[in-house]
Chain A
Amino acid sequence: MQGSRPFVFPRWTNSLRTLIAAVVIVGVLYAALVVAYGASPQTTDVGYQPEQPVTYSHAKHAGELGIDCRYCHTTVEQAAHAAIPPTQTCMNCHTNITIGNSEKLTPVRESNASGMPIEWVRVHDLPDYVYFNHSAHVRRGVGCASCHGRVDKMELVHQVEPLSMGWCLDCHRRPERHLRPVKEVFNMGYTTANQLVDGRRLKELYNINPSTDCSTCHR
C-alpha cells in the first residue's frame, strides 16, 4: 500500500468549504422566509375570488345603487352570521326590474320557482373551531370594510384580509386603529383625518376592551 499512488481530491474541492458555509446560511434564511411569507394566509388566502353561480355585482348594487348592506345581510346586527339573503330578497326587486341582460338572473328565477337554494361559494371562510360573531363587531364600530374591504367596488367579491389569527389579534389588541362611529359602520367609504385619535376616543366612548382570551373565539 505504501507504494500505491495516494488518491488526492482535486484542488477545487477546497472551495467547497465556503460554498457549504454559504449554502447553510442562505438555506436557513430561505426557510425562514418561506415560513414567514410563503405559508402565511396573507399569501395563500388573500385575493381568493371563486366563481359564483350568479354573477352578482356588489359594485353595481352596493356601489352604484348604494343599497345598504343590511338590505340583504339582514341578520348582521342581531346574529353571529351575516346571513346570505334568500332568493326572495333578490326577487323583491327583480320581479319588476329586469335591467341588463337577464340571462344572468336565470339561476335566481329558477331558484325562486323551485324553492331550491342558489349555492353561493363561501369567500370569507374561517376554520370550524373559530366562532366569529358579526353582531358583536358591527354594534361596536367595526366597519364592514375593515374585514371585507371595499365590497362596493368589487364586481366579484374576493378576500382582502388574511383572516388569520394573528390578524384578528392585531385588532383585538389595538382596536383604536379600526374603530369608527357606529353609524358609519355600513359606510363603505368612511375615512377619517386622524384614525388614532378618533379610535381612542371611540374606544373610551363605547367602552371597548376586546378580549384576547382563547375562549373568546375557540369553544
Chain B
Amino acid sequence: MTTLPAHKMLLDTTHEDPTRRAPLVLGDHDFGSVTETVCRIVERPKPPRAWYVAFAVSVSLTGVLVGLILYLFVTGVGVWGVNNPVGWGWAIVNFVFWVGIGHAGTLISAILFLFRQKWRTGINRFAEAMTIFAVICAGVWPGIHVGRAWLAYWLAPYPNQMQVWPNFRSPLVWDAVAVGTYFLVSLMFWYMGMIPDLATIRDRAVTRIRQMVYGLLALGWRGSNRQWLRYERAYLLLAALATPLVLSVHSVVSFDFAVAQLPGWHTTIFPPYFVAGAIFSGFAMVMTLAIPARQFFGLKDIITMRHLENIAKIILVTGSMVGYGYGLEFFIAWYSGNSYESFAFLNRALGPYAWAYWIMVTCNVAVPQLFWFRKCRTNVWVLLGACILVNVGMWFERFVIVVSSLSSDFLPSSWGYFSPTAVDIMMLVGSFGLFFTLFLLFLRYIPMVAMAEVKSVMPQALMEGTGHRPLGDYWGDMPHPEQRHKAVDAEARS
C-alpha cells in the first residue's frame, strides 16, 4: 500500500502502483454523462471555427493531389524525379510511410484488446479511424506509381482471354493481397466497433435526417444481450485475426525490399524491424492526433494523461527497437563479409544521402529517448513535438531505404542521384490533405470514443458481490465508487 493520500493516488492518473492503478475515466462520470460528453461533439450543430479552417485547407490539398494524379496519368510517371537507377521514388516512400502509420489503429484495437489492456478504450476508436484513412492514403500510391495504371487490374488472378496469370512469386502481388486484406479487415473491425455507438447517436438524434442516416448505419442495433453475445464473440475473433494480420502486413511490405537482391534491401532483419517501425510511427501519429483532439473536444477525462503516457512508453520501446535495427544492419553488413552489403550501409551513413540518414537516426532513435523521463512523458507539448519529429524521421527512414540503396548498387557506372520534382513534393503534401480531410469528417460525424466500451470499464459497470465482472479482471484497476467519491470530496476540501 502506498503512502500517498488517497485522492492524490486516485487523481494523479499517471501514478503507478501495482495494487492500485489510476482510473481510466476521470471526473464524476456515470453512463449518461459519458454518453453526453462524447455525443455532444457529434450533435453540436456547428463545429468550432478551427474545424472549418482545417477542413478547408485539407480539402484544397486533396484537390491538389487529385489534379496532380490526373496530370500524371496523361503525361507519364516521368513527371516525378524517378530515373534509372532509382526506379522507385517518393511514391513508394509515401506508400510505406502511410501503411506504417496505419498500424497503430488495428494494433491498439486488436492486440491491446487481446491483452485486456483496458486503457485502449479511450483511444481505439480514432486510432482505428486513423488506420483506415492512412491505409487509404497508402493505397493511392501503388496504384498511380505504375507506368500503365489503367492496367493495374492485371495483378488480380481473374480468368482472361490471354490465359495469363499474375506471378505469385512477386512480393508486389503479396503486397496487394496483404494491404487489401488489411484494409477490409480494419474497415470491418472499425465499423463493427461503431455499431452500438451509432445506435446511441441514432437514439439521441432529434432531426429526422440524422435519425434516418444513423438509423441506417446502426443496422437496427437494440443492445439486446443475445446480440451482444455474438457481437463480442465476433469482435474477439476479429481481434484475434487482425493481430497476426497487422504483423503480417508490414512484414509483407518489407518483403518488397527484403526479397529483392539489392544491397541495402536484401536484409533478413527487415520484417521485424519494419513492424516495429510501423507501430512506432503509428503510435506517434495517434499521439499527434489525440492531443489536439482531446484538447479541442474536451475529452481530457476520457483520453487521460495515462493514455498518452502509455503511448509514450510504447513509442520509447519501439523506437529503441528501430534503433537496434539500424545498428544491427551495420553489424550484419560487416559480419556477412559481403562487400556490396557493407558498402551499401557505409554509403548510407557517409555517402551522398548521409543527410537523410542522420535526420532519420536523430528523429527515430535520439528523440524518443526523451520518454525515459516522466516529465517529458506527461508534458503534452513535448509529446506532440517529439511525435511529429518521429513521423518525420520515419518518412526519412523509408526514403533512405528506398533511394539510397537504389542510387548506388552493383555497377559504379550506373550509380545515379535522385532528386524530387515539384510534383513529388506536392503529391506528398496532397496525401496529408486527403488524410486530414477524412479525419476531420470523422471527428465531425462519428463518435470519436467507443462509448459502449468506455462504459464497460466504468466502476458502475462493476458489480460488487455478484461475482460477475465485465471484460476480464478489474482488481485494482477501478477504485470503488465510494472510494472515488471520498477522494473527490477530499480533493474538493483541500
Contact = CB atoms under 8 A, between A and B. Distances in A.
A contacts B: CB pair < 8 Å: yes
A4 B204 CA distance: 11
A40 B161 contact: yes
Contacts of A42: 161
A14 B215 CA distance: 13
A165 B208 contact: no
Contacts of B159: 35-36
Interface residues of A, number: 18
A131 B208 CA distance: 65
Contacts of B203: 6
Contacts of B215: 7, 9
A209 interface: no
B204 A1 contact: yes
Contacts of B162: 164-166
A143 interface: no
Interface string A154-180: 000000001011110100000000000
A9 B221 CA distance: 13
B211 A165 contact: no
Contacts of A166: 160-163
Contacts of A41: 161
Contacts, number: 34
B359 to A, nearest CB: 44
A92 B462 CA distance: 105
A40 B164 CA distance: 14
A39 B153 CA distance: 15
A4 B207 CA distance: 11
Interface in B175-221: 203-204, 206, 208, 211-212, 215, 220
B475 interface: no
Interface string B145-186: 000000000000011111110000000000000000000000
Given A1-B204, A4-B206, A35-B158, A165 B212 contact: no
B164 A165 contact: yes
A16 to B, nearest CB: 10
Contacts of A164: 161-162
Contacts of A169: 163
A40 B160 CA distance: 8
Contacts of B158: 35
Given A40-B161, A165-B161, A169-B163, 16 more contacts: A1-B206, A7-B215, A9-B212, A9-B215, A14-B220, A35-B158, A39-B161, A162-B161, A164-B161, A165-B162, A165-B163, A165-B164, A166-B161, A166-B162, A166-B163, A167-B161
27 contacts: A1-B206, A4-B206, A6-B203, A6-B211, A7-B208, A7-B211, A7-B212, A7-B215, A9-B212, A9-B220, A14-B220, A35-B158, A35-B159, A36-B159, A39-B161, A40-B161, A42-B161, A162-B161, A164-B161, A165-B161, A165-B162, A165-B163, A165-B164, A166-B160, A166-B162, A166-B163, A169-B163
